[in-house]
Structure 1
């Protein structure tokens, strides 16, 4: 009989490539991972690995078993979700990965869920949406809260179920003494000579700032890069840059900055939740999604 946890380690090794990476991701020692994989090879009765220097190379048998391992893990997750649904219990652990400003929705939702479902343990990690989706597929998270901009829609990987949570506008954010600060709307073309701030190129915010500016006919002089909205707002308040921020960042509450509507077609950000399809029936995940939806509908604090 093949051990389920050892199959999980095989699937992780197939995704990550090295025992060290698997050990770090799952909080095991490398020797434990190596031993468990050796035991799996014994259970399978076939050679699964060959040494290639310091790395393990998968044999054809290992590739076959890894494909089955993914299917088995998905079926087990589906079975667990359906059993939980039959019992109707909103309990257990839900691991949530979310982008930074989504914390404004997460915090009230977590408080509400703690009151309603004391048997539910919620764990959160703030990370970039690209990483969060990959981690969801690797079963490191149970639910992902991600964003996408109209200028850059995200692919929908197979095996994941997406649900729109929130739609909001993106506005130009400038120092409060900037000439544009009191205008009803601003053409971004007028900001071509400004110093810009935004996320790094490999982040959704960084891509959005670059894409929107290019759509208005120029490449921004993006001298300051940060994924932290508070850092961006501090730079703007000190007169060092301008940027584009979605409403969840609440730029209007930051002293020293002004948020102005961008003229032309609106710049829009969508907030989505995603779960693995095999876990859709799990009541705890439905409760978390519903709690986030209530947080969106609640009056701003």
Structure 2
């Protein structure tokens, strides 16, 4: 019989790519990982790993067993979820949340859980969607809150179940008192955007190019509160999702973008854990919090 713990190490290696990354993610030493995978090879009776420079890679047999491992781990989680639903436990829920959701809905969600599930421990880490979805698939977290921008799709991971929380308006943001009326008025301005490689950066850049100009990105920051401060102080203009303000009065003046675009906000869990009572409770609280955080609208264009 295969040891499920060793199968998880093989699955993690197929996801993360290196023994060092697996060791870091699971808080083991690389030598321990190597020893356990060597034992798994002996159990399988076939080579699972082969040298690749200073690293190792999966053989064809290793890839095949890693695919089976993913299904076995999912079945194990599904069984545990069903048992937990019959006799609810207090297993912690590990939540990876993007920054705008941390500002806009997390406090409300935790408040709701304090009333409905006072014994449930929720452990939260802020991660960009690109990283959080990977970590949920790799079993680093139980649940992620992520986004998808209009016209941009994210990788569909077979192990994950996605559920839409709702749509979040994305606005142009300028300082109060700024007389800009549309994106075309901002072609010569300094912009603040998220770092290169993020979906948010790619999408924002495309909006500027569609308006006929290349944005002068002088400020590249992952912290959206810093975006708001820079815009509010008049040092930059930007594109800010309404969720950042969490239903509060915006610190900047907001303008509509062409077509009034909205991004999709969703939660993602591994299919085998979707019915865990704790995860269901956290998802429900996030939905309630999101519903209470909507309703921010843009200002009309100023009249000359």
Same fold (TM over 0.5): yes
1:99 is aligned to: 98
2:111 is aligned to: 111
Cα separation, 2, equivalents of 1:95 and 1:102: 15
Change (3 A) 1:57 1:161: closer
Deviations 1:102-128 (A, max 9, x none): 012112212321332233221111111
Change (3 A) 1:189 1:299: closer
Whether the aligned pair in 2 keeps the contact of 1:90 and 1:287 (CA below 8 Å) is no
Unaligned stretches of 5+ residues in structure 2: 295-304
1:274 is aligned to: 268
Please show how residues 1-301 of structure 1 align to structure 2 within 5 Å: 1-87=1-87, 89=88, 91-103=90-102, 104-180=104-180, 186-250=181-245, 253=249, 257-262=252-257, 264-298=258-292
Whether the aligned pair in 2 keeps the contact of 1:147 and 1:269 (CA below 8 Å) is yes
Residue range with higher mean Cα deviation, 132-141 or 109-118: 109-118
> 1:120 is paired with a residue of what secondary structure?
coil
Change (3 A) 1:38 1:212: same
> 1:274 is paired with a residue of what secondary structure?
strand
Deviations 1:234-275 (A, max 9, x none): 2223322100111112297465x322233x411212211111
Whether the aligned pair in 2 keeps the contact of 1:91 and 1:121 (CA below 8 Å) is yes
Cα separation, 1, equivalents of 2:133 and 2:6: 24
Whether the aligned pair in 1 keeps the contact of 2:243 and 2:293 (CA below 8 Å) is no
Cα separation, 2, equivalents of 1:258 and 1:33: 53
Cα separation, 2, equivalents of 1:124 and 1:208: 27
Computed over aligned residues only, the root mean square deviation of the Cα atoms, in angstroms, reads 2.1
Change (3 A) 1:18 1:291: same
Instruction: Point out 4+ residue stretches in structure 1 off by more than 4 angstroms.
Output: 251-255
> 2:229 is paired with a residue of what secondary structure?
helix
Whether the aligned pair in 1 keeps the contact of 2:182 and 2:255 (CA below 8 Å) is no
Cα separation, 1, equivalents of 2:155 and 2:35: 37
> 2:204 is paired with a residue of what secondary structure?
helix
> 1:91 is paired with a residue of what secondary structure?
coil
Whether the aligned pair in 2 keeps the contact of 1:93 and 1:121 (CA below 8 Å) is yes
Unaligned stretches of 5+ residues in structure 1: 181-185
2:299 is aligned to: none
Aligned length: 292
Change (3 A) 1:235 1:283: same
Deviations 1:10-64 (A, max 9, x none): 1111222221111011111112212221222233333333344532343333222
Residue range with higher mean Cα deviation, 56-65 or 167-176: 56-65
2:297 is aligned to: none
Whether the aligned pair in 2 keeps the contact of 1:196 and 1:242 (CA below 8 Å) is yes
Whether the aligned pair in 2 keeps the contact of 1:106 and 1:292 (CA below 8 Å) is yes
Query: How does the TM-score come out when normalised to structure 2?
Result: 0.88
1:183 is aligned to: none
